[in-house]
Every structure is written in C-alpha cells, then in structure tokens.
Structure 1
Amino acid sequence: MPRIKRSPAEQKRAEETGEEFLEALARGLRVVEAFGRDRRWLTLSDVARLVDLPRASVRRTLYTLVKLGYAEMDDRLFRLTPRILALAGAYLSSNTITDIVQPALERLSDEIGEACSAAVLDGADVVMIAHASPNRMLSVSAQVGYRLPALSSSLGRVLLAALGDKQADEFIAQAKVAKLTPSTVTNKAELRAAIVKARMDGFALADQEAEAGFRSISVPLKRRDGRTIAALNVGVHAQRVPLDTMRKVFLPRLRALADDLASQLI
C-alpha cells in the first residue's frame, strides 16, 4: 500500500515531535473529533474536508472505527456510536478530581436550584468534566464533555487567569475570537483586561457572551498547594437571575465549595 502524503501541518508536526510520534493515531483522533452536535452524520467526503486529510486515509480510519464498534455506517453516512463514550469514561474513571467534584456539584445544584459545572482548559476551549443541574433545563446542552470558548466564558477566564502573564498573552495572541452573541467581547485588549480582573478578583462573570440569554459566574478550584486545577461555575438564564444575585448569592457559595474541595485535593 503506498504511503499517504503528509500535509504541510503534519510534516511540520513530524519534524517537531520526532519518530516516536504515531501519525496514524493522530489522524484517527482527528477523524473522531470531526463529529459533533451539529455534525452527527457525515459522509466520507465531509470528514475528509473537515480534517483536511486524504480520502484514502479517512476511508481506512472510518472502516477501522466501524469494525471496532466506535462508529456505524448507514448508506454513505457515518456516525459515532455510544461505545465512543468508553474513551471519555477512561478519563473520568481515572480522574480523582471528577470523583470528588461531581457529588459536591450535585449538592450545590440541589441547594440553589441552578446548574453547576466544573471544567478544565483544553486548547482554545474549556471542557466540562463534571455537571449537575436541577429539573429546570438550561437552553444550552451543557454536560460532561461540553465545550465552550475559553476567552468568552467565565470558566475559561478563571483558568486563563491562573496562567503566567506570558502564557496568557500567547494564548490571547493566537486565539481566534468569534462573535457568538451581540455581547461577545472580541477586542483582545479588553479580553486581556478581563483575565487580569479575574486574577485580581478571584472570580469571573460572563454575561451572555458564549450564548445569548445565558450568564455564568466562576471561581478557581485549587489544590492545597495553591495550584488551580479546574474552575467551578453556576450558570443561569439571564432573564430570570440578575447579575446582583450572581455576585451576592452564588459567588459566596462557589467560593465556599472551592475552599471545602481544596482540602480534599492533593
């Protein structure tokens, strides 16, 4: 079988990572990541376009995923199967943070009647590692594995505030900030100021920046040594809960929860 020609990006990565880097695995993960909430069913051509890989490579990857039970095919369309959750489950089951945080968020959510989440930084996004919500559903489908742009979310700003100035500046410089709502801040100087403010205040509040009609407040979750390992937040419908309530009612509860959890995290 002829060797598939590397894309310029793959060639650069190969030169940077060395011979131990497994290119086939990297391509396979890119194919899996092509699927999402708005891309549940994809053709081979769709996937090849989204991941910018040769059709031959994508065809073999999809064939392998189907044979392993991680994907299924219906006519010319592919989609992931529930078995793919085993990969996320491996992370969750091996992560002691989730074991500790999930029940704590469930208790807080029950007490205040609002959705509560924990997230970590992953590239340009934050990804939920724990989530709890009351019977009243939010307009967003926030759940474990849900992603939000770091710069446009309170969770992300708290996590970016924990970085050093150089790291935060590099993150902002490289970021592509999309105008998700009329309230989304896209000016990078303003975003840097928001991160500095989150560092000074010890919390961040984002009002309808990631999604219209939704606001959230977040605090850092730190280990006993003071290192930030995640962020905790409360998210609400903007029409139902005023900003004053976010600061005066939910912020103290979040801070108390973070302090309590810090003693359990090594």
Structure 2
Amino acid sequence: MSEKQNTLYVGSLAKGLKILRAFDETATEMSLSEIATRTGLDKSATQRLTNTLHVEGMLDKDMKTKRFRPSHAWLRMAYAYFWSDPLVQLAMPRLIELSQHLGATANLAEISGDHILYVSRIPGKSSHFSSTIIGRRLPALCTAAGRAILSTWSASECADAIATWSVNQMTAKTTLDRTEIGRAIETASRQGYAETQNQAILGQTGISAPITGPDGVAFAAVQCSFPSRLWPATRIQEEALPFILDAAHAIAPQLQRGYHAQGLARPMGET
C-alpha cells in the first residue's frame, strides 16, 4: 500500500502543502492562476486552499494585485526546526570557528530526497547572496556535499543514486555526465572528502567532508565554498582542507554518542 492509499493520509492537507512547496526562488509571489498551473490543482481547489492558508497566516496577500507570497510564519517554523535538529546545534560552533578561521562560507548540508539542503550557513567575506540563504536545495549529485555524503553509502545505494537522482545545469560547467559523477564520488570515497569547481556558481570551488554516524554512513556534511581566483588548489589543500576535515571529524563522535543521522528516515516529500 502506498502512502497515498493509507487511510491516515489526508489528501486535502497534502494539497495545501503542495501549494506551500510551490513557492521558491523562481516563484516568490504568485496569482491564483499561477499557483494552479504550478501545482496542477484545479482553480476552485486552489482558491479554497490558498484562502485557507492566507486566513491561517501561512500566506500573505497583496490586496491590490491579489498575489500571494510566503508569510513570516515560515520563519517561525524554521525556528522550531533549528531547535529540533540536534545536528544543527552540534555543528554551529564548529561552522562559526571554521568560517572565521578561513574567511570562507561554511555550511552544514543534510540530504533531503535526491537534493542536499543547507540547514546552517555562516557567510564568508566574499559570499554571494544565494550562498547565504538557509534552506537552499541543490541536486546532491552536482554538489561537493552531496558527493561527500554519497561516498559513504554502500555500493548499491550509491549506484542507484547516480543512476536515478536528478541533475541540473546550474552553470555552463555543471557536470551532467553520470559516469563522470560516479568517478568523482569514488575519488571522494578514497580521499575522505569531495571537491567541485564551477558546479553551482561559476568561479567557486566547493570542498566537503562527510559527517558519519555510528555505522560510518553520512547523511550530512560540512562544506566550504571558495572563490577559485583567490584559492587555487594548492592553497585549499594546505590551508583549508585540514580544518574542514577536523570540523566534520569533531562533530561525528557527538552523533555517535547519542544522536542519529536522520537523512533516509525522512520522507522524500514532493519537490
């Protein structure tokens, strides 16, 4: 029996959540017709659900344009999430220390379906706006964090991810060839960290080390981004990599003493 056939599954609630998930960086505010088109819901259902979300404080509505956008209630939910995720609390001191030491953006990324989700970010001195926003999702196969995490999975799980997970042309140099991605993950498995260049942002190098649970499997990673013109490969190897590895290795034992990595236990949800 699928989740949607389960008698405990509430279809109307799922449709409301689908509307909330329709908003992202490419659709920051929408009309009813745009929401209906984006979600695939009929206009009548869209109108009822969107009005309910507005009345309940989840969506703001411009009374002149009749367009909707996320409300501050989303931040209250994010606040609750940060207190509920022990990994965020464990990682934050290390991320702050790492960013201050390197002058670079330091991130905590967790696996979310076939994407990685940045759940904590400490901006560096030359950060792009997009690299400072908590909650950003990127295809795991196209990121250093995603590849670092996958490098700790079993051969069969990793092969399945490489074959089926989504990839996205985020820059002109984003690698879409799955064989090449597989080789990069194998390299990450051998060396204990993953490295990418120009995958999500041109001119940026990403370095990521997995945070492993008691079984040696990771569902999260520490990741740092560097402007390539200021941080050539030799400088990263000598001045940054040891500290990134140390941060990930310092967090992992705390997970192993009583916390658990939650990645695969989380439902995939709709994207």
- The two structures have a TM-score, normalised by structure 2, of 0.87
Answering whether residue 4 of structure 2 is matched by residue 14 of structure 1, we say yes
Q: What is the CA–CA distance in structure 2 between the aligned matches of 1:229 and 1:124, rounded to whole Å? A: 12
The letter of the residue matching 1:65 is: L
Q: 1:151 aligns with which of 133, 141, 157?
A: 141
Unaligned 5+ runs, structure 2: 259-271
Q: Deviations over 1:7-56 (max 9, x none)?
A: xxxxx7634xx222222222112111111122111011111111112222
**Contact preservation (8 Å) 1:138, 1:237:** no
| Structure 1 residues 176 and 99: CA distance shift in structure 2, 3 A | closer
* Counterpart Cα distance in 1 of 2:31 and 2:195: 40
Q: 1:13 to 1:57 in 2, by over 3 A?
A: farther
Q: Distance in 2 between matches of 1:25 and 1:207?
A: 41
CA deviation vs aligned residue, 1:147-170 (integer Å, no higher than 9, x gap):
122111101111122222222222
Distance 1:243 1:161 in 2: 21
Paired residue for 1:60?
Answer: 48
Q: Which residue of 1 aligns with 2:73?
A: 83
1:108 and 2:101 correspond: no
Partner of 2:184: 194
CA drift at 1:224: 4.7
Distance 1:96 1:196, change over 3 A: same
Which position in structure 1 is the counterpart of 2:216?
Answer: 226
User: Is the Cα contact below 8 Å between 2:104 and 2:124 reproduced in 1?
Assistant: yes
Partner of 1:138: 128
Q: Which moved more, 1:207-216 or 1:221-230?
A: 221-230
Partner SS for 1:173: helix
2:159 corresponds to 1:169: yes
**C-alpha separation in 1, matches of 2:74 and 2:146:** 26
SS in 1 for 2:24: coil
Quote the residue 2:262 is aligned against.
none
Q: Which SS does the other structure have where 1:79 is aligned?
A: strand
CA distance in 2, matches of 1:53, 1:159: 35
Change in CA separation of 1:163 and 1:26 when aligned onto 2, cut-off 3 Å: farther
Quote the residue 2:265 is aligned against: none
Aligned residues of 2:107 and 2:120 also touching (Cα < 8 A):
yes
Q: How far apart are the structure 2 equivalents of 1:144 and 1:208? A: 20
The higher relative CO (CA closer than 8 Å, separation ≥ 6) is in 2
* Distance in structure 2 (CA, Å) of the matches to 1:52 and 1:37: 19
The structure-2 alpha-carbon separation of the partners of 1:219 and 1:46, relative to structure 1 and needing over 3 Å to count, comes to: same
Aligned Cα root-mean-square deviation (Å): 1.9
The total of aligned residue pairs comes to 254
Which of the numbers 17, 23, 45 marks the counterpart of 2:33?
A: 45
Q: Is the 8 A contact 2:116 2:145 kept in 1?
A: yes
Mean CA deviation greater in 235-244 or 138-147: 138-147
Q: Which residue among 234, 241, 244 is the counterpart of 2:234?
A: 244
Amino acid at match of 1:62: T
Structure 1 SS opposite 2:131: coil
Give the Å deviation of 1:90.
2.2
After superposing the two structures, state which structure 1 stretch, 210-219 or 51-60, moved more: 51-60
Equivalent position amino acid for 1:37 in 2: E
**What SS class does the counterpart of residue 138 from structure 2 fall into?**
strand
- Rounded to whole Å, the distance in 1 between the matches of 2:133 and 2:243 is 21
